[in-house]
């Protein structure tokens, strides 16, 4: 069992190396990158905006309901919502959501090409299949921090809407809490995490799709396995980066 894990880790890093070794011609890469941007990033904005708004609202409501002590300033609702959204919800929770949506898509699309022998056809034509299939996904997923920025903004708007229009505090109190003890480094930390998560989201599902064996039934199993491992690695890296940068 342990040897299989070690073999998979080595195979994963070899895949990363091979992805950048022999480049496809530039005009074709541009087309593939634009296509992946649409499939992986643009198509995910709707679900990210929807979830971010309501999670921000829920965070604000739960915080307000737990701050019943009259000696606790209500502006802390805005402060707590900002900290929760920027530090954890936007970069980490959205990455887990993307692992289900984007990761499953990447694994199933590459796995289907493996089953239908399209990857073998690319190799026969002298094309580096890893560069052709994985490299555009990595470049497209580098826009993931942009998605996180939108998630942060929409999440705070949701928290503001629930707090102010829910009658928990005034607009001035929420904005005061939102600006209280703001540390710009925390935003950098969130974007750094999101960039690392983007590389994981692009490469781990691609690894499971590219090296899968079997028929069409195994494509679904590979997609499920890739989601589990992508989520596990994201959570582990979240702990590691937090320990490294914030402790």
The tens digit of pLDDT for each residue in 20-69 reads 888 888 888 899 999 999 989 999 899 999 999 999 999 988 888 877 66
**Long-range pairs for 170-176: beta carbons < 8 A, 24 or more residues apart:** 173/73, 173/74, 173/75, 173/77, 173/78, 174/75, 174/77, 174/78, 175/78, 176/75, 176/78
Q: For residue 228, what are its two tokens? A: 């589990």
User: In the chain, what are the domain boundaries?
Assistant: 36-246
pLDDT reading at 198 higher than 80: yes
Residue reference for tokens 């409501």 = 61
Q: Rounded to two decimals, what is the model's pTM?
A: 0.89
């Amino acid at each position: 069992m342990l040897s299989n894990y070690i073999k998979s880790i080595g195979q994963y890093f070899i895949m990363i190396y091979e992805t950048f070794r022999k480049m496809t011609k530039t005009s074709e890469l541009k087309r593939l990158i634009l296509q992946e941007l649409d499939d992986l990033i643009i198509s995910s904005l709707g679900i990210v905006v929807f979830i971010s708004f309501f999670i921000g609202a829920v965070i604000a409501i739960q915080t307000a309901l737990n701050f019943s002590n009259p000696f606790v300033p209500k502006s802390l609702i805005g402060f707590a919502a900002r900290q929760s959204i920027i530090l954890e919800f936007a970069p980490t929770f959205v990455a887990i959501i993307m692992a289900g949506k984007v990761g499953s898509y990447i694994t199933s699309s590459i796995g289907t090409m493996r089953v239908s022998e399209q990857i073998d056809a690319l190799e026969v034509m002298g094309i580096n299949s890893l560069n052709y299939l994985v490299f555009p996904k990595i470049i497209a997923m580098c826009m993931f921090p942009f998605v996180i920025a939108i998630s942060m903004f929409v999440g705070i708007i949701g928290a503001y809407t629930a707090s102010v229009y829910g009658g928990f505090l005034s607009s001035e109190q929420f904005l005061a809490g939102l600006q209280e003890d703001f540390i710009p480094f925390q935003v950098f930390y969130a974007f750094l995490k999101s960039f690392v998560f983007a590389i994981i989201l692009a490469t781990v599902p691609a690894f499971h799709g590219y090296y899968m064996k079997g028929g069409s039934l195994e494509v679904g199993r590979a997609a499920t396995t890739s989601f589990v491992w992508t989520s596990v690695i994201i959570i582990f890296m979240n702990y590691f980066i937090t320990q490294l940068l914030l402790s």
